[in-house]
């Protein structure tokens, strides 16, 4: 069983085995959490991403999938890059967003990672409403199989933290 924990903070400061990145298909960096991970982690992460583009993912990493690189100078061993869907009010892309969490955990499991830090994939630049993003993230991770001991959601602001706390509380009532 994977234990779910919530912390308010910056994902680049988490001492975990693997940090999940909300990347884009190019794997070559961007803003938001992706920008922060590359800045703090240093050029080794981008070098690994370029190697992936030159080999397995010549056309980019598809939405809903995940792939690992070094974590460079971050206090973690690996970064697991996943690509969330851009939110669309006229189309239900929840399954693709759930796939990001499942695939990231599967990759973490393959690596032997026991502790994994997640950002709220798609809930920033990609526009997914926070309460729905929290529901999908938490139900998917709670239902996942594998040997990851801790899935730590790292919430960047108070509103995200409170949303996760209330959704998690509704999922797992005390007692």
CB 72 within 8 A of CB 82: no
Does residue 156 belong to the site contacting ligand AR6 (CB under 6 A)?
A: yes
Nearest approach in angstroms of CB 84 to ligand AR6 is 4
Quote the CA–CA distance of 54 and 28 in Å, as a whole number.
12
Q: Tokens 């598809």 map to which residue?
A: 62
Active site includes 34?
yes
Quote the CA–CA distance of 110 and 133 in Å, as a whole number.
25
One DSSP character per residue, 121-143 reads TTSSTT---HHHHHHHHHHHHHT
Q: Which of 10, 34, 90, 131 is catalytic?
A: 34
Interface characters, 22-61, with ligand AR6 (x: CB under 6 A) = xxx-----xxxxx-x-------------------------
Does residue 6 belong to the site contacting ligand AR6 (CB under 6 A)?
A: no
Pairing of strands 78-83, 66-70: antiparallel
Nearest approach in angstroms of CB 27 to ligand AR6 is 9
Active site residues: 34
| Positions that interact with ligand AR6 (CB under 6 A) | 10-12, 22-24, 30-34, 36, 84, 119-126, 154, 156, 160
């Amino acid at each position: 069983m994977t234990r779910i924990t919530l912390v308010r903070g910056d994902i680049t400061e988490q001492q975990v085995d693997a940090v999940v990145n909300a990347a884009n298909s190019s794997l070559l960096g961007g803003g938001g959490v992706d920008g922060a991970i590359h800045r703090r982690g240093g050029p080794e992460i981008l070098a690994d991403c370029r190697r992936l583009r030159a080999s397995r993912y010549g056309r980019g990493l598809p939405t809903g999938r995940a792939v690992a690189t070094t974590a460079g100078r971050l206090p973690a061993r690996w970064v697991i890059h996943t690509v969330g869907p851009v939110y669309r009010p006229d189309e239900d892309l929840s399954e693709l967003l759930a796939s990001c969490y499942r695939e990231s955990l599967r990759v973490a499991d393959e690596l032997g990672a026991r502790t994994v830090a997640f950002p709220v994939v798609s809930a920033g630049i990609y526009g997914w409403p926070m309460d729905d993003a929290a529901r999908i993230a938490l139900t998917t991770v709670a239902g996942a199989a594998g040997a990851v001991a801790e899935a730590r959601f790292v919430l960047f602001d108070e509103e995200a933290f409170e949303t996760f706390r209330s959704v998690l509380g509704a999922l797992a009532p005390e007692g």
